[in-house]
Each structure stands twice: as structure tokens, then as C-alpha cells.
Structure 1
Amino acid sequence: MKSNLKFDFTVNKENNTVNVNREFAANLELVWEAWTNPEILDQWWAPKPYRTETKSMDFREGGMWLYAMISPENVKHWCRNDYHKIVHQSMFSGLDAFCDEKGEVNKAMPRTLWTNNFNAQGETTIVSIVAKYDSLADLEKVIQMGFKEGFTMALENLDQYIAAQFKLRQRNKTSNKSRVSSYLNFDGKTEEAFLFYKHVFGTEFLGKGIERFGEIPEEPGNPPIAEGIKKMVLHVELPILGGHILMGTDAPKEMGFTLSKGNNMHLCLEPETRAEADRLFTELSAGGNVTMPMADMFFGAYFGEFSDKYGINWMINFQNPG
């Protein structure tokens, strides 16, 4: 992952705006999806130790995103974003406000008019953000509330989530031979579960064995890994029967994960060719819900993710061994 990603943050008190230019080490399709898909937004939008939980989202002009920022004590702070203009994979704008669970706006709090522009820069994407306020008093209030610190942490969540979820997979696949695996997410019990599976099947872990969050190299611009999760499992692979592979990871809230029944298991297909990856994705996702379109990832894979029309979760991952 690039350690010198662009990040410019300025406050303009003459026109009551915050202006941010932020580079992401991923292509335009992936970054756009991360900003517009509620399942992905829930995993990075809130600054730690808070987390985001979407109640509803209608991503269209005139639609609304209703979500809660949830504290470590499970106190919910509700917000809504009313979408004004959307140009696919180019820009969107919306008026954000604090509200209650029903979406009734808290008029005593400042509202933020977001305008987000997305620009492809080869293998990276720059998101140019303008947050505008009705008055200088509103601008100064959100700055005092920690806007810069909180928003910086949220953007770093997205960097770290992508890196943590996918960065190490390519280490364990040393050939282009196709394979099928099951990807499992746990609430801190990955090691316990995989030691149990290892005993049952009598097989050995692939690659470097159990890899942990604490092994993620520290890079400038990335937040440090919380002490409480350093020993949690980042990635592990275990062959079981007939060449089938179980992959697993812990999904700690501190890293922005929101684990629930239904998103804790994916079937992961790793075809031999890019064309076969496209075919599988297109045919299996027909009538389903695409959460991440097929795209070239900065970690070297051609990857996509979706739920099919029967509610089964799939990953398609074409990896050229390095």
C-alpha cells in the first residue's frame, strides 16, 4: 500500500467551507463503491472507537441515507444525508444533519452540505471534498467538535480495512491453478475455530500459518493497530477435503468491521483466467446484490463481491502469482 497518499485539509472561513483532497490506493470503481454502498460505509465511515450502522439507504437524487454513529457504550447518535445530485462514478452531493431515529432533523446542530468529486489517477483515486456550512459559527462549531480529527480517522479506516482484508491473500497462492475456498469471519474466535478444524481434518495451515493484525507493517499515514486486537487473526488458510480451502479472519469492531449472521461467510472462487472471473461474476450475480464490482485492486488481484439472488455471499478473486 502506498505510504505517501495525498491528503490536503484546509478551512476557508470566508466561504464557510472545509476543503479536502484525499488519495486512495485503489481504482475509481472500488473507491466509488466504498462511498456509496451502505455495507461498506458501515465498515469505515465512523472514527474509531465509534462504528456506523445504516438503518436505510436510498442512493439516488432525492433519496436519503439514515444511519447511526454508535459509541463503545452503544449510544446511538443519528444522522441523515439527503442526496441532491449524483453523477455515477464522478460526483455526488448531499445535505447531512444530526437527527433522531426517525430522521427528524435536529435544527440546533450545524448541517453539512457535502460535495464529493471522484477522479481516477491511474492506479489511485483522488476524492475532492467540499463541506459547506450556513454560517461561520456553524463551521467553527464543527471544527471545535473535532471534524478534522474524526474525518481523518474515518478515511484511514477505509485504507486499513482494504489492506487488512486483502493484502496477505496473494502470499498463499503460488500458482494460477483454480481453486474454491470458503471465507469465514469471526468475532475474535478465528484461532480457536481453526485449531478445532485443523484437529478434525488432520491438515496443516498453508503459507505462514496464522497471521495476526499485529503483523501488519506500520506505514506512515496509517493509524497504529489497537493493542487489544494485535493478537487477533488477520488471515489463515486450511485445506480440508478434496482440495477445498477454509480461509478465516477476525472481524473486530475496532477495525471498522460490522459482523452479523449472513455476512460471516463467503464462497470464494479463484479462477484461472480474468475472462472466467468476469463470466462467473456476471452469471452468478444476475438478479442479486453487487457489493463490489469486479475491479483491479492495488494489492494485485482482480476482485469482486456480491450476494446472489438466493442470498448466498460470493467473492471472485483472480490473482496472478507474483
Structure 2
Amino acid sequence: MASQVTTFLMFQGKAEEALTFYVSLFPGSALERIERYGPGEMGAEGTVKLASFTLAGREYRAIDSPVKHAFGFTPAISLFVDCESREELDAAFARLSEGGGVLMPLGEYGFSAAFAWVNDRFGVSWQLNLPFA
């Protein structure tokens, strides 16, 4: 049986920029550890070999893939965020959708007080939710 399951994000040269952006969005978030590729290693020197970070207290890991691949992130898997206030949701929506794409506009859909679904500029999909009080 697995002792821990952690979400793992694979970027292509933008991992550190994305992680720095993500940890700025939510309280209880931090870039915990970052290891970079050095000279002569498989990845481009200075890119992320392995990073650990937390978002609102949950652990994630990320890399910059040293191998180019023809796939990226898909909205079939997204990060679901229950926001504590409409202001938090509005701010997250504005920052995450900037340079990205809106899959479901910010609105009231009946299953919560407010909801939006976006792909950020790095291709990661986010569902932003304000639960009913």
C-alpha cells in the first residue's frame, strides 16, 4: 500500500516560474526545495531537476522535463480550490486566467456560490470554487 500520494507536475523549462507564481496565490504556500540540473547533466543547466512545494498546505512536486514531448497538461486533471471568500476567488481567477484560457467563466452554476474553471499560462487547469456558506 502506498504511504503517500503526491501530485507531480511536469513542465518544459518553465517550472520555477510557474511554482513561484503558484505559491504567491494562496496562504499556506511555499517553495520548499528546488534542485537544479548542473553542467553535463541530462537537463538544461539551471532548470528544475526536482522541486517540492506546498499550496495551501498540500504537497506537490514538479520538474522541467529534460526530454521534449508532444503532450502537455490537460483539463481532464485539474487543481480544485475551495476559496474562503468571493474576493479570494476573484483574485485567483484574475491571476490564473491572465495569459491562459477560461474553460468556464466565473459565475453561479447552482452547485456552489461561485465557480470558474481556467487553464493558466503554463497549461495547468484550475477549478476555483466558492462553496455555499
- What TM-score do you get using the length of structure 1 for normalisation? 0.20
More helix by share: 1
User: Highest relative contact order (Cα 8 Å, sep 6+), 1 or 2?
Assistant: 2
| Larger gyration radius, structure 1 or structure 2 | 1
